[in-house]
Structure 1
Amino acid sequence: MTAPSRGTPPGSPAAGPPADTAEETVAPGPGGSPPPTEGADTVAAGAAGAGAGSAAPDPAGDGAGDAGDTAGDGPAAIDPSADDADASVPGDDGSAEGNADMLAAKESGAGAEGTAGTGDAGAEGTDGGAGAEGTAGTGGAGAEGADGGAEGSAGAGSGVSEAEAEIAAQRELRARIEQRKAEKEGPIDSGAKLSGKAADLLAAVRAVESGEKAATAYFDSPPPEPRRAAPAAAPPVRPRAAEPAPAAVPAEALAGARAVLLKGGAPESLAPQVAELIGESAGEALAEDPWRLLSVPGVRPEQADGFARALLGAEATPGDERRTSALVTWVLERAALQGHTALEASALRAALAERSVPDPEEAVQQAVADGTVLVFQEGVEEDAPVTVLLGLDRYAMAEESLADGLARLVRTGPSDVWEGAELVRAAGANGLVVHTGGEAARAEPVALAEQARAMGLRAAVAVHGENGVRRLGPDAGAVTVADLLSGAAGPGRDEHGALALDLLVVLDAPHLDVETAAMLVESLADGSRLVLGGDPGVLGGAGAGRVFADVLAARVCPQVASRTPDPGPLGELVSGIGVGELNQVEAPGKEVVIVPVRDAGEAVHRTVQLVADSVPRAIGVPPEQTQVITVGHGGSAGTRALNAALKQRLNPGAGRFAGFDPGDRVAYAQALGRTVTGTVVSAGPDGLHLDCEGTRTVVPRERVDSALRHGWALTAHQAAGMRWPAVVVVLPGDAAQSLSRPWVYTAFGRAERHLSVVHGVDQALPRAVAEQPGAERTTRLRTLLEGLLTEPAAQPPAPGGAE
Structure 2
Amino acid sequence: MTAHPRGEAPDPAAEDHEAGEDAAQAADTPGTPDEGDAGSAEGAEGAQDPEQVPGVPAAPALSEAEAELAAQRELRERIEQRKAEKEGPIAAGTKLSGPAADLLAAVRAVESGEKPGTAFFDSPASAPAPRRAAPAAAPTAPAGPSRDPEQPAPAAASPGAAAAVAAVLAGGGAPEALARPAAATLGEGAAQALREDPWQLLSVPGVRPEQADGFARALLGAECGPDDERRTAALVGWLLERAALRGHTALDADEVRTALAGYAVTDPGEAVQHAVDEGVVLVFQDGVDATEPESPEGTEETPEDGTRGDDEPVPVLLGLDRYALAEESLADGLGRLVNSCDKGADWTEAAAAAPSSSAGELIRAAAAAGLVAHSGGEAARAEPAALIAAAHGLGLRVVGTTHSADGRRRLEEAVGDAGSAVTLSALLSGEDGPGRDADGAFALDVLVVLDAPQLDVETAAMLVESLADGTRLVLSGDPGVLGSAGAGRVFADVIAARACPHVVSRTPDPGPIGELVSGIGIGELAQVDAPGREVVIVPVRDAGEAVHRTVQLVADSVPRAIGVPSSDTQVITVGHGGSAGTTALNAALKERLNPGPGRFGGFDPGDRVVHVPAPGRAVPGSVVSADAEGLRLDCAGTPVVVPQDRVETSVRHGWALSAHQAAGMRWPAAVVVLPGDAAQGLSRPWVYTAFSRGERHLSVVHGVDQALPRAVAEVPAQERTTRLRPLLEALPTPDAS
Tell me the TM-score normalised to structure 1 length.
0.73
- Number of the residue aligned with 1:149: 45
- Name the structure 2 match of 1:110: none
Q: Which residue is equivalent to 2:31?
A: 95
Deviates further, 576-585 or 261-270: 261-270
1:340 paired with 2:224, answer: no
CA contact (8 A) 2:398 2:420 kept: no
8 Å contact kept, 2:606–2:623: yes
Which residue of the partner structure matches residue 236 of structure 2?
328
Secondary structure of 2:317's counterpart equals: strand
Match of 1:613 among 549, 556, 559: 556
Tell me if the contact between 2:25 and 2:660 (Cα under 8 Å) persists in the aligned partners.
no
For the residues of structure 2 that align with 1:521 and 1:609, how far apart are their CA atoms? 47
Tell me whether 1:755 sits opposite 2:698 in the alignment: yes
CA 1:660–1:528: 2 relative to 1, 3 Å: same
CA positional deviation for 1:792 = 7.2
Partners in 2 of 1:354 and 1:572 — Cα distance?
46
The alpha carbon displacement at 1:624 in A equals: 1.3
Shift of 1:239: 4.8
Kindly indicate whether the alpha-carbon contact (under 8 Å) linking 1:27 and 1:587 is maintained by their aligned counterparts in 2: no
**Matches of 1:372 and 1:756, distance apart in 2:** 48
Matched residue SS, 2:560:
helix
Q: Would the aligned equivalents of 1:665 and 1:680 in 2 still touch at CA under 8 Å?
A: yes
2:683 counterpart letter in structure 1: S
The alignment status of 1:304 with 2:212, answered yes or no, reads: yes
CA distance in 2, matches of 1:94, 1:394: 20
Q: Do the aligned partners of residues 622 and 737 (structure 1) sit closer, same or farther apart at CA in structure 2, a change above 3 Å counting?
A: same
Give the 5 Å matches for 1:374-385.
374-380=282-288, 383=310, 384-385=312-313
Aligned to 1:241: 146
Report SS of the residue matched to 1:572: helix
Deviation at 1:94, TM superposition (A): 4.5
* Superposition map of 1:272-671 within 5 A: 272-380=180-288, 383=310, 384-416=312-344, 417-419=346-348, 420=351, 421-473=360-412, 475=416, 477-671=420-614
Which runs of structure 2 are paired with 1:39-58 in the superposition (5 Å)?
Answer: 49-56=10-17, 58=18
Using the alignment, how far apart are the partners of 2:263 and 2:619 within structure 1? 36
Deviations 1:224-265 (Å, cap 9, x if unpaired)? xxxxxxxxxxxxxx9552244574421210111111222222
SS in 1 for 2:507: coil
CA shift in 2, pair 1:51/1:442, >3 Å: closer
Work out the CA distance in 2 between the residues paired with 1:725 and 1:308: 53
Q: For the residues of structure 2 that align with 1:412 and 1:156, how far apart are their CA atoms?
A: 62
Q: Give the structure 2 partner of residue 744 of structure 1.
A: 687
Tell me, in whole angstroms, the C-alpha distance in 2 between the residues paired with 1:582 and 1:414: 45
What is the Cα deviation at residue 549 of structure 1?
0.2
Residue 418 of structure 1 aligns with an amino acid whose one-letter code is W
What is the SS of the residue equivalent to 1:333? Answer: helix
Residues 489-512 of structure 1, C-alpha deviations (whole Å, 9 max, x = no match): 001011221001000000000000
Give 1:112-127 correspondences, 5 Å limit.
119-120=33-34, 123-124=35-36
SS at 1:493's partner residue? Answer: coil
Match of 2:7 in 1: 33
Q: Distance between the aligned counterparts of 2:629 and 2:393, measured in 1? A: 43
| Cα separation, 2, equivalents of 1:333 and 1:357 | 19
2:206 is aligned with 1:263 = no
Structure 2 contact 202–208 (Cα < 8 Å) conserved: yes
Tell me, what secondary structure is at the counterpart of 2:26?
Answer: coil
Matches within 5 A, 1:709-728: 709-728=652-671
Aligned partner letter, 1:445: P
- Compared CA separation, residues 554 and 51, structure 1 to 2 (3 A): closer
Q: State how far apart, in whole Å, the 1-side matches of 2:321 and 2:53 are.
A: 61
Which residue identity does 1:242 align to in structure 2? Answer: R
- Output the CA distance in 2 between the equivalents of 1:620 and 1:510: 32
CA contact (8 A) 1:91 1:717 kept: no
Tell me, yes or no, if the aligned pair for 1:90 and 1:717 is still in contact at 8 Å.
no
1:335-376: CA deviations, max 9, x gaps?
Answer: 011010000000001111111112111110000111111111
Q: Match of 2:612, SS?
A: strand
Identity %: 66
Q: Name whichever of 533-542 and 411-420 sits farther off.
A: 411-420
Check the 8 A contact 1:469/1:478 in 2, yes or no: yes
Aligned-pair CA distance for 1:723: 0.9
Partner SS for 2:671: strand
Q: Distance in 2 between matches of 1:590 and 1:667?
A: 29
Q: CA RMSD in A?
A: 2.1
3-state SS, counterpart of residue 531 of structure 1: strand
Q: Which SS does the other structure have where 1:95 is aligned?
A: coil
Specify whether residues 496 and 606 from structure 1 end up closer, same or farther in structure 2 by C-alpha distance, changes over 3 A only: same
C-alpha distance after superposition, 1:605-645 (max 9, x if no partner): 11111111111111111111111111111111111111111
Cα distance in 2 for partners of 1:436, 1:239 equals 37
Instruction: Give the equivalent residue in structure 1 for 2:109.
Output: none
Separation in 2, partners of 1:27, 1:272: 52
- Residue 468 of structure 1 and its aligned partner are, at CA, apart by 0.8
Secondary structure of the residue aligned to 1:779 is coil
Matches within 5 A, 1:184-195: none
- Measure, in 1, the Cα distance between the counterparts of 2:690 and 2:180: 37
Match of 2:134 in 1: none
Taking a change above 3 Å as real, the CA distance of residues 358 and 736 of structure 1, as seen in their structure-2 partners, is same
Deviations 1:96-125 (A, max 9, x none): 3xxxxxxxxxxxxxxxxxxxxxx12xx44x
Name the CA distance, whole Å, in 2 between partners of 1:433 and 1:150.
Answer: 53
- Aligned equivalents of 1:683, 1:783: Cα separation in 2: 51
Contact kept? 1:25, 1:591, Cα under 8 Å: no
**Count of residues in Structure 1 that have an aligned counterpart in Structure 2:** 611
TM-score for the superposition, normalised by structure 2: 0.80
Give the Å deviation of 1:743. Answer: 0.7
Segment drifting more, 775-784 vs 702-711 = 702-711
Query: How many Å separate the matches in 2 of 1:573 and 1:549?
Result: 23
Aligned counterparts of 2:157 and 2:444: Cα–Cα separation in 1 = 39
> Per-residue displacement from partner, 1:569-608 (whole Å, max 9, x unpaired)?
1111100110111111111111100000111111111111
The aligned amino acid for 1:261 is: L
- Matched to 1:560, the amino acid is V
Question: Whole-Å Cα distance in 2 between the matches of residues 547 and 364 of structure 1?
Answer: 27
Q: Residues of 1 paired with 2:521 and 2:627: CA distance?
A: 46
In structure 2, C-alpha distance between the alignment counterparts of 1:586 and 1:91, rounded to whole Å: 36
Please give the secondary structure, in 2, of the residue aligned with 1:433. Answer: strand
Amino acid at match of 1:586: D
Q: Is the 8 A contact 1:418 1:429 kept in 2?
A: no
Check conservation: 2:169, 2:175, Cα contact below 8 A: yes
**Counterpart of 2:304?**
none
Cα deviation for residue 423 of structure 1 reads 0.9
